[in-house]
Amino acid sequence: MKEGRRNAIQVCGLKKKYRGFELSVPRLDVPEGFATALIGENGAGKTTLLNILTGIRRDFKGDVTYFGEERKLNAQTQECIGYTGPGCYFLPNWTVDQVEEISSLLFSGFHNDRFRSLCKELGIKRGLVRDVKKLSDGNRMKLMLAAALARDTQLLILDEPASPLDPLMRDKLCDMIREYLERGNGKRSVFFSTHNIADMENVTDYAVILEHGNVVEEGFVEDLKEKYICVKGEAADGERAGEILFSVSKNAYGFEGICLAENLDRLAGMDVAVETPTLSQISVAVMKANTGLKL
Amino acid sequence: MKNAMKSYLVFTSRLYRLVMYMLLPGVCGGICLWACGSGGSRAGRGVLMAAALLLPMVETVSDSWLFAGVQNLSYTNLEYLKSSGRGGAVMRQALTVDVVRKLVSSAVILGLAYAIIGLWELLSGEIKEGLWAGAVEGAFGFWGAGSGTGGVLWCMVMCSFFFSMLGTFLSRYGNMIWINLMVGYGVVALEIAGQFLPGLSVHLYGYGGIFGLLGLCVGALAVRTAMARMERSYYDQRPFGRGGPGMGEEESGM
């Protein structure tokens, strides 16, 4: 399935400078039919990248094409992309009803009945004076999701959808993403940024890790779990193992860390146990290895 | 036209529509009728004058629920609109219809009060003939005889429209209601000062035309400024920079 696959988004030589920060993505493929997670620390460039992909930012160098074709971002492409963004997304004085009205005007594939049913399902109360600014962060995110999912789209780009949601809603969000993909029969894709890797792991098929504006790791989660390995061992071996491991956490009883599976033989002679790492562990290890922060 | 109306209406909540399109003309007409009933047409004239002076303030304050801060450099609430290919067109249409709506609102509200006074005078026997001519000459005699019957209404509507547009334009640089309120007070003060323009009572049509033209110019400026702000938001902000591709460090890749 991975061979000869189509990409929902293909980025080539993307460069964007912004106030001393540079986003540089020589090549990025977001596979079609899958949920792709964009992972990175604060300020890594995730929102900038997503804004470029949705057409909210237009000053960049490089080439972005969509849906496996030479399709550039234009009104027609935007019609196929559902997007949820950070707090400043809707006009604060809009009511939930206005969001429905304006959505049906902005997007031809918007279904009012689907929006109403999603609002009901997600517990968004409607009324005469229910301003968006009076909604909690979580409810505002639910409203954005309802507006995006009420449309006929091929691609969802979600900026930190899980952050403002409670654990129950995060679980629901994963279900909704999975259902969205299933209904698309391999033609729909989701690209979302997240800090809540553990909560979103069960819905993530492909992961892209961004650090300082650069893609430092990407791949299908199952491949990443073969590429990296979680190592646990005795405290006495901690120092020696630390030279091989990407990231290591030590305590009085032992150490735990992540290393490349190909480096496993370098741990020979040490009393270690190996496990398949979680995406969260891989992400933290990769980020730690690339961060400029002193941790 | 239908799309433009739709674009404008989606920016207004049901509550806003209820207040601005039903309640405001209703209350204004009702107070005018009550004033005529309790104090005669002279009291009605007072209400009409007050309505003409206060309408720009109402328009300025109520704009806070529609386009507050839309001309502000730090305005960042357009992402949903920008995520659609139609977002720019919808915004432009909404802003344009808002200008026209302000003119129509001034004409309808003041025209309604004007008609109520005239009708009252006719029915109460204050004037014997010529509903409009009699009402206007009687009501606005203090503005000078021979100024023309329709001229007073024309001038009041245009004056109210111009100051409504001016207040709206200035207040859109801020995004808090108290800014709209302060600007509202300011435009009312300016409008009162405007009543002392030399020869106003004689050249009502001329002044009305000038006010109308200025109102349209400020309206066009308001649309242009908000749209330029929206266009700039696609690109990196520079304190004194211009919008459009090439203004930032990078050129558009689209």
pTM above 0.80, yes or no: yes
pLDDT digits (tens, 9 = 90+) for B224-245: 999 999 998 888 755 344 433 3
Chain A touched by B248 (CB under 8 Å): yes
Mean pLDDT of A287-295: 68
Chain A touched by B50 (CB under 8 Å): no
Whether residues A235 and A188 fall in one domain: no
Whether residues A167 and A241 fall in one domain: no
Chain A touched by B42 (CB under 8 Å): no
Residue where the block lists tokens 């493929």: A29
Chain A touched by B245 (CB under 8 Å): yes
The number of distinct structural domains making up chain A is 2
pLDDT digits (tens, 9 = 90+) for B10-22: 999 888 999 999 9
Chain B touched by A252 (CB under 8 Å): no
Question: Strand, coil or helix: what is B253?
Answer: coil
Q: Structural domain of residue B201, as residue ranges?
A: 2-232
Residue A44 lies in a domain: yes
The number of distinct structural domains making up chain B is 1
Confidence of residue A17 (pLDDT cuts 50, 70, 90): confident
pLDDT at B137: 53
Contact A128 B253 (CB under 8 A): no
Whether residues A120 and A174 fall in one domain: yes
As for the ipTM of the complex, it is: 0.85
pLDDT at B186: 93
Alpha carbons A3 and A208: distance in angstroms, whole number: 18
Residue B182 lies in a domain: yes
Residue A25 lies in a domain: yes
pLDDT at B114: 86
Whether residues A128 and A242 fall in one domain: no
Residue A24 lies in a domain: yes
CATH number, domain with residue A205: 3.40.50.300
In sequence order, which residues have a C-beta less than 8 Å from that of residue A188 and are 6 or more positions away? Answer: A33, A153, A154, A155, A156, A180, A181
Residue B21 lies in a domain: yes
Question: Strand, coil or helix: what is B23?
Answer: helix
Compute the nearest-CA separation of A281 from chain B (Å): 33
In sequence order, which residues have a C-beta less than 8 Å from that of residue B112 and are 6 or more positions away? Answer: B25, B28, B29, B32
CATH number, domain with residue A257: 3.30.70
Compute the nearest-CA separation of A249 from chain B (Å): 41
Q: How many beta-carbon pairs below 8 A join chains A and B?
A: 119
Whether residues A101 and A39 fall in one domain: yes
Q: Which residue of A lies nearest to B5 if distances are taken between CA atoms?
A: A105
Contact B234 A59 (CB under 8 A): yes
Chain B touched by A295 (CB under 8 Å): no
Chain B touched by A98 (CB under 8 Å): yes
Lowest mean pLDDT among A72-86, A281-295, B34-48: A281-295
pLDDT digits (tens, 9 = 90+) for B20-60: 999 999 999 999 999 988 888 788 888 888 999 999 999 99
Q: What percent of chain B has pLDDT over 70?
A: 83
* φ, ψ of residue B25 in degrees (nearest 5): -60, -35
pLDDT at A133: 83
Contact B85 A85 (CB under 8 A): no
Q: Select from B240, B72, B90 the least CA-distant residue to B169.
A: B72
Nearest CB to A17; choose among B14, B68, B249: B249
Angle at B18 between CA B15 and CA B23, to 5 degrees: 130
Whether residues A156 and A242 fall in one domain: no
Confidence of residue B164 (pLDDT cuts 50, 70, 90): very high
Question: Strand, coil or helix: what is B252?
Answer: strand
Residue A1 lies in a domain: no
Nearest CB to A101; choose among B10, B66, B86: B10
Contact A81 B6 (CB under 8 A): no
Lowest mean pLDDT among B54-63, B132-141, B155-164: B132-141
Compute the nearest-CA separation of B178 from chain A (Å): 15
Residue B42 lies in a domain: yes
Residue B254 lies in a domain: no
Q: Structural domain of residue A196, as residue ranges?
A: 7-219
Chain A touched by B237 (CB under 8 Å): no
Residue A96 lies in a domain: yes
Contact B252 A63 (CB under 8 A): no
- Inter-axis angle of helices B204-232 and B149-171, to 10 degrees? 20
Residue A2 lies in a domain: no
Q: What is the mean pLDDT of chain A?
A: 89
Whether residues A259 and A167 fall in one domain: no
